[in-house]
Structure 1
Amino acid sequence: MNETSLIRTLQATIESQNKTIEGLREELKRANENMEYLIKKLYGRKTEKTSAIDGQLVISDIELGLFNEAEKEMDSPILEPVPFEEPIKKTRKGYKRKDLFENLPSHDQVFKLEESQQVCPVDGSKFSVVGNKFIRSEIRYVPAKISVFNIYQETYECRTCKNERRPGIFNPNTREPVLQHSYATASTVAWTIYQKFVQSVPLYRQEKDWKQMGFPLVEEIYLIGS
């Protein structure tokens, strides 16, 4: 083996060992994070009420997942440390979000262009309505009442552009959702936060109230949809 081949072999060995060391560092980092999380869960604050100063939430509580924790109001026994096992994400077969709405009243909200805006900016022709484009569904909260609002955009077409083979489909603007990929609205999020942090109502009790009004999974309101 000549000197050049030996140098290349040593360099390859060094690179391989560096990758191994980096991998071990990442594993150690994850292990430390898991240990810190378990210590906080075992010995951290158990009360459902949060400390607040002038209406501001304690950031450490939010970092510990206080808002979307699986809460139970009961006398808990002293927990003994258990070996940590990496959680496995489970999926539900046959789960459809639309099935959640079958017991709720539903309304359609259609966004339309103003009469003065229903004119083609290219040739000045008046638009013709050709249909509605479905955008999303939202859950809106009204005290003691829940309903579904299906958001549509009215679709307009410039027939002159169509005949001359130009793009001629136009839609009005719609407001952005409170949370992307979620059914949440300002009313549902505000009420959930108020109940949780002002009224100290745990999420499992809120979920029971929502079920009684026809909506089975309160988590769907404030979690980003998958």
Structure 2
Amino acid sequence: GLWGTLAVGLFNIYENPETGLSKGLLYGGGFHQLGTQCLGVAAILSWTIITMLAVFLFIKKTIGLRVTREEELVGLDISEHGLASSYADFALALHTEPPEDMAEVPQAVAVPVSHAVPVRNVPAGGSLISKVVIITRQNKFDQLKTALSDIGITGMTVSNVMGCGMQKGASEMYRGVPLEINLLPKIKVEIVVTKVPVRAVVDTAKKVLYTGHIGDGKIFVYGVENVVKVRTGEGGYPALQ
């Protein structure tokens, strides 16, 4: 559009003294018509820049210009259009988000966790040792790590894993054909605790990870018979210090 406006000042072959239209620069009309066209271009650019700056500033201060961090990680194909991939003819992208119309489930129903402490032999050091394994969405790890650190968890093992639950992954329809995604990307966080109560770890994890949708994850609690520190040979509670 801008080039078309400037081209009139270069290539115009018509004249109309009543309207002030003169020939273009390359057809003997001099710089008069080209200057007029440049003034028009400058007016268009000024109007566009000022107006759009105002519009985008208004959007930024109200609903925001960017999507959420979670939407950036899983991609806008699924969050905006409900498609696993806009390029499904070429490849199917895995995602971890449920459909928008998925009904939310109350937290107490969605993540019931019971911790039954069996009768176990107390290892050296005089304290029971438990292992908590958390499997959840990848985009929740930073929040989970910060929350666990706040309650005194100083050590953990984190793995990127692929898996699915009873739903066997997220079922999708593409052009009328059902597609089954069997494995979804997850993270597995393993924590061994003795000083910090297991209930505190579980409650903290539930609070951070809960969204009410399928895919929030699972928490597994195991009893640990003993822990041995390789460097010193210590066992039980001292080995975890």
Q: Which of structures 1 and 2 has the larger relative contact order (alpha carbons within 8 angstroms, sep 6+)?
A: 2
Please confirm whether the aligned pair reaches a TM-score higher than 0.5, indicating the same fold: no
- Larger radius of gyration between Structure 1 and Structure 2: 2
Q: Please, what TM-score do these two structures have when normalized by structure 2?
A: 0.21
Q: Please, what TM-score do these two structures have when normalized by structure 1?
A: 0.22
